[in-house]
Amino acid sequence: MIDIKKYIASGILEIYVAGVLSEKENLEVSAYAKQYPKINDEIIAIEASILELSKRSSNIQPYPFSEVKDKINIPKEPKVLTLEKEKSVWPMYFGWAASVLLAIGLFLTYNQNQELKSELEVVSKENMFLEEQIATSDTSLEKAKTLLNTIRDKNIDVVPLAGQTVAPDSYAKVYWNKQQEKVFIDAKGLPEPPDGFVYQVWSLKLSPTLTPTSIGLLDTFYEDDNKVFALDNVNDSEAFGITLEPSGGSEGPNLEQLYTLGVVAAS
């Protein structure tokens, strides 16, 4: 016969639940739990309290005590002790139990903080991506407004460029502002150039002889979604043509790769 209240108050049940008693002591507690319902109820209550602590400390499932125990430096086989010596020894066992419970809380809180940190990093990256999209959208909108204002200028000459033998379905359009000495090439009707090649724009004099002068490359063709390019043109152009040339451009046009051509209307 044991003093049940004194036995429960000794702290041995908390250590039993934590799983750090010796095999002999485990068997002893298990036998008392079967024999005395109050001891069994107390064990159930202790387990419930620890599980509740786990749930409040993290949104993940509570860790099994066997896993937590492996992460804590606790003697694997505590010295077997009798109740006659409990006054001097049980406080040490109770300290171990408190360490186990504290370690559980710290371990679960650490995991929760790590998950929260990861979530914050994801949200931060998503916000940065969204800001970049908004900035790009604003830039594209401003560029579109500028282009519209430019092609609607009363001083603009519009020169349609028709597809030629190498690419009869191709087409383009030149918006020429003579006062500003600029041309805007709308190249939406040109196919994507193959790797290692680039479109080159030519200003042409038709008389007394055909004289081509390069006014620039459409070397950002892949990156420009609008396919509208601004080039300087100081020439007294009578026609415009676009050829496909090796990357970096050519000194003279390859007429076998003449994609589009258009004559400036007489004013």
**Span 161-203, pLDDT tens digits:** 999 999 999 999 999 989 889 999 999 999 999 999 999 999 9
Point out the least confidently predicted range of 16-20, 85-89, 209-213, 248-252. 85-89
Distance CA 165, CA 33 (A): 98
Note whether residue 147 is domain-resident: no
In this prediction, residue 127 carries a pLDDT of 59
- Highest mean predicted confidence (pLDDT) among 67-81, 120-134, 208-222: 208-222
Among 59, 91, 114, identify where a domain stops: 114
Note whether residue 36 is domain-resident: yes
Among 59, 94, 114, identify where a domain stops: 114
Q: Which residue has the higher pLDDT, 20 or 170?
A: 170
What lies within 8 Å, CB to CB, of 128 at 6+ separation is none
Note whether residue 190 is domain-resident: yes
What lies within 8 Å, CB to CB, of 193 at 6+ separation is 199, 221, 244
Residue 134: pLDDT over 70: no
Note whether residue 128 is domain-resident: no
Residue 82: pLDDT over 50: no
Among 60, 89, 114, identify where a domain stops: 114
- Domain housing 81: 4-114
Residues 190 and 245 in one domain: yes
Note whether residue 120 is domain-resident: no
Note whether residue 149 is domain-resident: no
The number of distinct structural domains making up the chain is 2
Which tens digits make up the pLDDT trace of 31-49?
A: 998 999 999 998 888 877 7
